[in-house]
Amino acid sequence: MIAFVAGRVASIAPDGAVVEVGGIGLSVQCTPGTLATLRPGEQVQLPTSLVVREESLTLYGFLDDDERVVFELLQTASGVGPRVAQAMLAVHSPDALRRAVAAEDLAALMLVPGVGKKGAQRIVLELKDRLGAPTGVGGSNVTRVAPAAAWRDQLHEALLGLGWSSREADDAVARVAPQAEEAAAAGGEPDISVLLRTALRSLSRV
């Protein structure tokens, strides 16, 4: 198991980053919220989880150890693979997932692309006693921001990566634009994870 990678961020793509470690570029799959904290050329240490398949080895990276633990626990539920687990963490923080599962909030879980009602029910049934109570620390308190000029592209690419069409992504970006512009006008920077959750809620109502 590769517990973490530490090195220079060589490049960033819509669904991951390349981290240079000892002269080797490691491709690490990350959520938009994690990617928003990375900058090319900067040093980074990311907790990771290696998913081994017959045809591939895929390294997933996270903001903190809590996200990694939840990512691995989610995959113990029937029908939840690494892609769905990553999508769940793209939409909800670890504590938000704990609250949703504890409260049997199927609607919140169904905001995740690829999770229907039956899937949400299985997740609640199988993980209710395993995810534990909200910790109040870790990823849920990490600010995930993006430069004002980049949030549209990051959000659009995140929605495409979660399975929405380009047109649906365009519409969702337009719907959350006032929220992002309000944050910018107040002197802040758009929070990609918050914008993504708002966009997904708007898509679920269409």
Angstrom distance (rounded) from CA 109 to CA 105: 7
Structure confidence by residue, pLDDT tens digits, 60-107: 999 999 999 999 999 999 999 999 999 899 888 899 999 999 999 999
Q: What is residue 206's predicted lDDT score, i.e. its pLDDT? A: 56
Average pLDDT for the chain = 85
* Domains of the chain and CATH, by start: 4-61 (2.40.50.140), 65-141 (1.10.150.20), 151-205 (1.10.8)
Would you place residue 148 in the very low, low, confident or very high pLDDT band (cuts 50, 70, 90)?
very low
Structure confidence by residue, pLDDT tens digits, 31-72: 888 887 888 999 999 999 999 988 889 999 999 999 999 999
- Predicted TM-score (pTM) of this structure: 0.73
- Which residue did the predictor score with more confidence, 184 or 25? 25
Residue with tokens 């990771």: 48
**How remote is the C-alpha of 22 from its chain's centroid?**
27
- Which residue did the predictor score with more confidence, 204 or 171? 171
Angstrom distance (rounded) from CA 15 to CA 196: 14
Q: What is residue 35's predicted lDDT score, i.e. its pLDDT? A: 84
Rg (CA), the chain: 17
Would you place residue 143 in the very low, low, confident or very high pLDDT band (cuts 50, 70, 90)?
very low
Q: What is residue 125's predicted lDDT score, i.e. its pLDDT? A: 95
Q: What is residue 121's predicted lDDT score, i.e. its pLDDT? A: 96
